[in-house]
Chain A
Amino acid sequence: MKEAFWMIPLFPAVGALGLLVFGSRLRRGAVSFLGCLTVLASFLLSLASFLGLSATAAAGGGPRIKVLFDWLDAGRLSAGLSFQFDALTAVMALVVTGVSFVIHVYSVGYMKGDRSYARYFGLLNLFVFSMLLLVMASNMIVLFIGWEGVGLCSYLLIGFWFEKPAAAAAGKKAFLINRIGDAAFLVGILFLVLFVGGTEFRLIERAALNGELGAGAATLIGLLLFAGACGKSAQLPLYVWLPDAMEGPTPVSALIHAATMVTAGVYMVARLNPLYSLSPAALETVAVVGAATAVFAATMACVQNDIKRVLAYSTISQLGYMFIGCGVGAYAAGIFHLFTHAFFKSLLFLSAGSVMHALSGELDIRRMGGLRRHLPLTYAAFLTGTIAISGVPFFSGFFSKDAILTKAFASGRHVVWALGLLAAVMTAFYMFRLLLRVFHGQERLEPSAKARLHESPPVMTVPLLILAFCSAAGGYLSLPVVFGKGLDRFPRYLESVILPGAEAHLSRGTEWLLIATSTAVALVGIVLAFLFYGRRTVVPETLIRTFPRLYRLVADKYYIDELYGAVIVNPLLRGSEAVYRDFDVRVIDGAVNGAARLTARAGKGLNVLQTGRVRDYALALLVGVLIVVGFLVL
């Protein structure tokens, strides 16, 4: 049983295989049962492994490692298919399998009636398998298998309704933009092999601690890998795929594009913390990119009218927070925010899904309003999520966000801290704006939608309640030190993996002041939201009229997509077309054919009937070859 942790990914793998190959022949009940059961089994085994780990943690000893088989082995490049289980893996595995299970159950209700029901659950299982591979890998190459695997599932699930051109395009866009990051990631792995001699995490840690790895090498590798993280975790400048990813089914958005996959970059940085800690430059980059993304994405969340897109920008912004944590060296705080965010953001997405379910797929918050009377359970769930993410004291988001901001301040990066606060104001603002526009105020529903308005069935609302409980209570796993000694259980649990750095100590007074500031900032955001959207929407309308250009700029997402299109995509496509037409066909091939024609005209005698063309070609080619040969020799 001690070694059984390697079987955690096995269940969803079997589930995926069964559902994708034979799913269309199974009854729906069997599909739901198989799909949910495999993930539940994984969750239970994760729980057992976690408990087993806690029991043996006191006895010391490194991570448990299980090599399944030697996978890749050629010269200096070698990697076994091997898993490891330590404190960080335990946390990630629990979050992944736990949230996945809840979302699988929710999907039974949400996807009821979809004609590709089995494909949906098969892909969802495949995703859980890939994600587990990612968090349980004991080396970078297996991590990369999982990394690409989740990307593939994301692609397939965003484009789940592939008849819709927008969905198909969004899936492809997500995959391609991720691939840009992955190309850098791959180069990072190659450098890792070169400098460290392998990609096992224990090897990397040893090399980092022994001083075998210099700061320059750590910076190079750290930045290349972080470029991959910017793709996967939707940070500047590669975040553009995530808003479009909302074309996928809402439970997919909750699971993949909020709770789990998009946090893979944060996990990777935390996992390689010995390497990143060697390089102040890489950490600085992580922190600055995180802070910039947190603010930038939050501004867009403030003006979007699509309920899922607001949540998508919010996710980008919150991921930025997690990177702030990692970048200031507080990896545990980053992971803690990942942990609480998994609950409240999936809760928000699933609640949004419940709203869409009730309104036959409506996404535009301008056609909602006053729904709290019709959807009381959904409202309660959404409210809990909103409070948690906004940083209202004693809910989970408050503790995790405060931990990051305190550490940022303590590290002396005051600009990063200030940007974090700014993002916090906006977070509270846009979330309450969303809450007020959807559930409060006048009902602005389409008449047809109103007639069919209904609360979701228990199979969907029970998952909401579970997540709501976690969102409210999850923060108590780690309280600020000022609340009492020994209450910061979460970072201390991770200490075996995340080496505590030299911490600048803050006085009790400063810590209280910082907590008070975070609280005040959240309240300011909430009050602003009520002033803007509480009763009437006079203030925002006036603002839009006063600054129409600024409003359009933000509402049109700073035209970043258009910019990428105009500067990168179109020139590349147009250029390639021109090269194909004018160079490949006309110059290269034209030289071959043209030389043939020329010789034909010059030497009529040679041009006997149709077979003459054969020789023409031969001659033309010979000439061409001689030119090339001559060129190379001279």
Chain B
Amino acid sequence: MPILSLLTFLPLAGALVLAFLPRRREVLLRGLALAVALIALGLSVGLYLSFESGTGGMQFVEHAPWLGSGIEYHLGVDGISLFLVMLAAFLVPVSMLASWRSVSSKVKEFLIFMLVLETGIIGVFLSLNVFLFYVFWEAMLIPMYFLIGVWGGARRVYATMKFVLYTMLGSLLMLVAMIILHGRTGTFNLLEYYRLAGSGDWLDPRLQVWLFLAFALAFAVKVPLFPLHTWLPDAHVEAPTAGSVILAAVLLKMGAYGFLRFALPLFPEAVSKFLPYLSALSLVGVVYGGLMALVQKDIKSLVAYSSVSHMGLVMLAVFALNFEGVQGAVFQMVNHGLSTGALFLVVGLLYERSHTRRISDYGGLSRQMPVLSAFFMIAVLSSAGLPGLNGFVGEILCLFGVFRAGTLLAVLAVSTVILAAAYLLGLFQKVMHGPISNPAVRTFKDLNLREVLVLLPIIVLMFWLGLRPGSVLRKTEASAALQVSRVTGRSSVLVSTPAPSPLKAGKFSPLPLIREKRPAEEKDADD
């Protein structure tokens, strides 16, 4: 069964069916769209269960000729893309459920765009042909453009233009780079690129620099890396809840994914040149995003700046280019998807009741809405990296990876621990605690069953990943190690026998799971 094609195109097929249904049958439309999204989620869970954790290479590969001249239909999944696909498949139905009431105009179009968006996102993560990747990458912009532009807030047109143009400008240069790449190699096949890059007979370093910059720009806008972040607060603030959730939780990951999958392994010689600058920009993003979040007056733009900070840490860990860093980055991408998704959902639930996003319009909601308060608190704690919840695992792995790449970088990045607590607890205090200052608050109802169902699965996952991180880490480790070795040229070999816990074995020796082969390089890794 071509499970990857099925997963990718099922939502699109659903959208086509929806297009032929009468727009007045709203319940049918919503139900059908939700059902399609849930089936896709089920497929992604099936993918997870049948995914083999021991190998780092691509699995479930589908390869067929398509347009010729190197443009082929080529899908595959590895440990890194697996969880990003799952994240998208999980959050699309959640967002649909969350929009059950809040989106009441042009419901049919909304649902169609959501499903098309899902196809685009999953396609981006699964494509192994660079051209195919580009098609999905651009196609995904269209539904997003409309989601913000049609169902967004007051300044939605400005925001959506800014979002699309920022992204497209970066990706146009990427397209040029792809074509040059094709000219040199005669193929768009990513796996072929990997093989060539590893063989030593690869691009001229000067060309690598230009191609790397073109790719890096496209991805840096998406992440977004400082100083290319200003589209993000605007897009988030104006987007409807579903748009914000997908944007923050999944779309930003495309940038980090792009670095990991394309920009870093394809141009290793350019990478070594730009790594310090990229790390520096990421670090600035961590601190700068945190400080900006501290002074926001709009809940959504606060969460948007917190994303700049969190994604900064993810990128810092990616640029650390070691096993722990990449493991942490992938894990943290999932975490950020869940926690920021949950925060935007909470903001959406509040907005539906109050029709305001200004922090100062709230206060004292905890007594009125205890269930929402509990969910909000857990989301805040997850985002702030409290141990026991998912955020901590990602954060400590990222920090350790960064730490191994550069002590000072890690010491500075640890400030995120303080800043995140400051802006998130500050937000929680102003919105939920204190006396009720706005009389309208007294009329707010606590969450109903549907709203609980929207948030509860995310909360459960936060606890699950916090307590059993192995359910992600075991599946990602081989791919993370492979991808690191592709960039650094150092082969990280998985010790095939599982490292016995020092306690169980009754003796103590530091037993790193991954051993790096070139001992001469060890020194700079530990500096």
Contact = CB atoms under 8 A, between A and B. Distances in A.
Interface in B433-474: 433-435, 467-470, 473
Contacts of A577: 295
A573 to B, nearest CB: 6
A24 B371 CA distance: 11
A618 B425 CA distance: 38
B425 A175 contact: yes
Given A145-B388, A187-B414, A584-B292, A76 B324 contact: yes
A166 to B, nearest CB: 10
B94 to A, nearest CB: 21
Contact of A621 (B165, B399, B403, B508): B165
A77 B396 contact: yes
A578 B166 CA distance: 25
B429 interface: yes
B513 A73 contact: yes
Contact of A172 (B277, B295, B425, B470): B425
Interface string A612-628: 01100110011001001
Given A80-B503, A168-B429, A580-B292, A614 B161 contact: yes
Given A71-B467, A168-B429, A592 B230 contact: yes
Contacts of B386: 148-149, 152
A165 B435 contact: yes
B328 to A, nearest CB: 7
Interface string A597-634: 00000000000000001100110011001001100110
B433 A162 contact: yes
Contacts of B98: none
Contacts of A632: 213, 274, 277
Interface string A559-596: 00000000000001101110110001000110010000
A145 B429 CA distance: 23
B417 interface: yes
Interface string B412-426: 001101100110011
A198 interface: yes
B328 A163 contact: no
B135 interface: no
B364 interface: yes
B267 to A, nearest CB: 14
Interface stretch (A178-186, A363-371, A407-415): A178-186
Given A71-B467, A200-B502, A202-B508, A78 B418 contact: no
B400 A193 contact: yes
A254 B433 CA distance: 24
Given A67-B503, A202-B508, A576-B292, A179 B421 contact: yes
Contacts, number: 189
B47 interface: no
Contacts of B327: 74-75
Interface in B143-163: 161-162
A197 interface: yes
A169 B430 CA distance: 10
A573 B392 CA distance: 26
Nearest to B414: A183
A72 interface: yes
Residue among A141, A147, A576 having the largest count of chain B Cβ atoms under 10 Å = A576
Contact of B418 (A183, A187, A617): A183
Nearest to B516: A75
A196 B328 CA distance: 21
Interface in A130-145: 138, 141, 144-145
Contacts of B165: 614, 617-618, 621
B526 A200 contact: no
A615 B274 CA distance: 30
A576 B396 contact: no
Contact of B230 (A168, A584, A629): A584
Contact of B397 (A77, A138, A580): A77
Given A77-B400, A614-B161, A67 B512 contact: no
B63 interface: no
B228 to A, nearest CB: 8
Contacts of A588: 227, 230
B258 to A, nearest CB: 17
Contacts of A454: none
A139 to B, nearest CB: 9
B387 A163 contact: no
A318 interface: no
Contacts of B400: 76-77, 190, 193
Nearest to B387: A145
A197 B509 contact: yes
Contact of A197 (B217, B322, B387, B510): B510
A67 B274 CA distance: 44
Contacts of B41: none
B187 interface: no
A76 B291 contact: no
Given A163-B367, A592-B230, A621 B396 contact: no
A159 B387 contact: no
Given A172-B429, A632-B213, A82 B292 contact: no
Residue among A152, A197, A584 having the largest count of chain B Cβ atoms under 10 Å = A584
A71 B469 contact: yes
B410 interface: yes
A182 B417 contact: yes
Contacts of B230: 584, 588-589, 592
B477 interface: yes
A52 B512 CA distance: 36
B514 interface: yes
A472 to B, nearest CB: 39
A515 to B, nearest CB: 43
A234 to B, nearest CB: 17
A76 B510 CA distance: 8
B366 interface: yes
A625 B323 CA distance: 32
A77 B374 CA distance: 32
A520 interface: no
Given A172-B425, A632-B277, A633-B209, 4 more contacts: A75-B323, A197-B510, A197-B512, A200-B508
List 7 tightest A-B contacts by C-beta distance, closest first.
Answer: A197-B510, A168-B433, A145-B387, A162-B433, A576-B291, A589-B230, A617-B165
12 contacts: A72-B396, A74-B324, A75-B327, A75-B514, A148-B388, A159-B433, A162-B432, A165-B434, A165-B435, A187-B410, A575-B291, A621-B169
Interface of B: 161-162, 165-166, 168-170, 173, 209, 213, 217, 227, 230, 274, 277, 288, 291-292, 294-296, 322-324, 327-328, 364, 366-367, 370, 374, 381, 386-388, 392-393, 396-397, 399-400, 403-404, 410-411, 414-415, 417-418, 421-422, 425-426, 429, 432-435, 467-470, 473, 477, 499, 501-504, 508-510, 512-514, 526
